[in-house]
Amino acid sequence: MTYYRLVRAIAIFIGLTIPTQALALEFVTVGPRSMGMGGAGVAVTTDSLATYWNPAGLAMTQTVDVRIQGGGQVIDRLGIADAIHDLETFDPNDPNVAANVAKANDIAARINRPGATVSINGSAGLYIKGHLGEHAFGINISDVATGGGFVSGRARAFVNPNPNCADTATVTTPAVCLTGAMALQALEVRQAAFSYAYAFSDKMFSIGVTGKFLQGAAYSGSMGLNGGTDVTITDNFGKGTISTAFGIDVGAIYRPSSWLRFGLVAKDINQPTFNDASGGELKLGPQVRGGVAINPYSSLTLTADVDVTSNKTFVPDIKSQMLSLGAEQTIFSEFLSFRLGAFKNMKDAGTPFTPTAGLGLRLFAFRADVGGGYDFREQGALVSGSISLTF
């Protein structure tokens, strides 16, 4: 049948465009609905956010959708944020020098722990969807950023005769000095994306493509860690290195029955390339993700996504390959939507599933959604919100 041939053709095309060792940047969760359902969105997203998740989803419903959303995520591994906070409040001139040395050494040891890093990502933008029969169109003007920080100069504690921890010693009440450094890297991608999707065989199958005009801003900075001094990460990423590129996403959805959908998306299949802050190049490898959505009955949706590719992050030795699970229960004709989910990085066996939750409110054409989650072990948090008009 026609749709089987198309599925096979898309799979072959994706396979040919992905080098064996290609690694993509991590897949950012965009939108509160997906965030509330553990970061799953490939098979379940049919509103204007499908321009990001899977353009094929645009053709699965005949609606007009205008949406504004924003969200972000922070992952604090091994409590480095707490250690840096203790460094900020550390008093180098505490008169109990022996106790202060022990405290400084404890803070330095926590900062220097292997794997003590911080990752950040976020997104925001305007998303629009329309349709003409089985043809669907989408536009988004958005910004997606990802970055991280890691210790580049080991934190150390030492006694300095100068009470201000300066290099020039002045014999007076000694200070316990605590110093180190953290490297910061990030990529912010601003994009104008245009999507087209087509559904056929009574919406049994849909295919979609997105073309993206991209402006990348690559950041590389450093941040001194000094006891008793406030540390502001956002002020130390440095000046962005600006360059432009063009990206292509392709996706498909197969719905063999009214209660079951399969989705597949490959993002940045042409491997857009940006200039990095060191004068080299930063090539984005393709991101490939699959998803499934099940509707046991009309008001309940169960969904799952999994990354096919192993994705890079800006933190050394940290890779991302996410498994996302979620559920949504609507009541009173979607007046309220309750969402639960969880996600896990399969490339980090030591990390647990992170729980998420979300809530949606619908009043006629107006919709408001919030979603978020919290990693109780790594103390990572994520939050997202959106407002939209859907007709």
CA distances from 31 to 47, 69, 175, 372 (A): 11, 6, 49, 10
For residues 1 and 75, the model is more confident at: 75
User: Minimal CA–CA distance to 24: which of 239, 333, 309?
Assistant: 309
**Is residue 92 assigned to a domain?**
no
Tally of structural domains, the chain: 1
Judged against a pLDDT cut of 50, whether residue 45 lies above it is answered with: yes
Phi, psi of 112 (to 5 degrees): -85, 0
**Is residue 201 assigned to a domain?**
yes
pLDDT tens for 218-230 read 999 888 888 778 7
Least confident of 209-223, 278-292, 373-387: 373-387
CA distances from 99 to 85, 102, 157, 329, 356 (A): 19, 5, 12, 55, 41
| Helices assigned H by DSSP within 18-62 | 32-36, 50-53
Least confident of 17-21, 170-174, 331-335: 17-21
For residues 325 and 117, the model is more confident at: 325
Q: What pLDDT is attached to residue 13?
A: 42
Judged against a pLDDT cut of 50, whether residue 184 lies above it is answered with: yes
Cβ 60 vs Cβ 203: under 8 Å: yes
**Is residue 162 assigned to a domain?**
no
pLDDT tens for 101-128 read 899 899 889 888 888 888 889 999 999 9
**Is residue 103 assigned to a domain?**
no
Percentage of residues of the chain with pLDDT beyond 90: 56
Q: What pLDDT is attached to residue 117?
A: 87
Its domain, for residue 54, covers 2-79+123-150+182-390
**Is residue 95 assigned to a domain?**
no
pLDDT tens for 128-140 read 999 998 899 999 9
**Is residue 312 assigned to a domain?**
yes
pLDDT tens for 145-164 read 999 888 888 888 888 776 76
Q: Can you read off the two tokens belonging to residue 100?
A: 């202060």
Q: What pLDDT is attached to residue 12?
A: 41
The CATH number given to whatever domain includes residue 334 is 2.40.160.60
**For range 191-195, the mean pLDDT:** 98
Q: What pLDDT is attached to residue 166?
A: 61
Least confident of 141-150, 170-179, 184-193, 296-305: 170-179
Q: Could you tell me the pTM of the whole model?
A: 0.88
Cβ 187 vs Cβ 193: under 8 Å: no
pLDDT tens for 55-101 read 999 999 999 999 999 999 988 888 888 888 888 888 888 888 888 88
Judged against a pLDDT cut of 70, whether residue 172 lies above it is answered with: no
Least confident of 27-41, 332-346, 353-367, 372-386: 372-386
Q: Which residues contact 292 (CB under 8 A, 6 or more apart)?
A: 43, 260, 261, 262, 263, 303, 304
**Is residue 113 assigned to a domain?**
no
**For range 319-325, the mean pLDDT:** 93
**Is residue 196 assigned to a domain?**
yes
Judged against a pLDDT cut of 90, whether residue 290 lies above it is answered with: yes
CA distances from 317 to 24, 38, 186, 312 (A): 14, 24, 16, 9
Q: Which pLDDT band, with edges at 50, 70 and 90, does 11 fall under?
A: very low
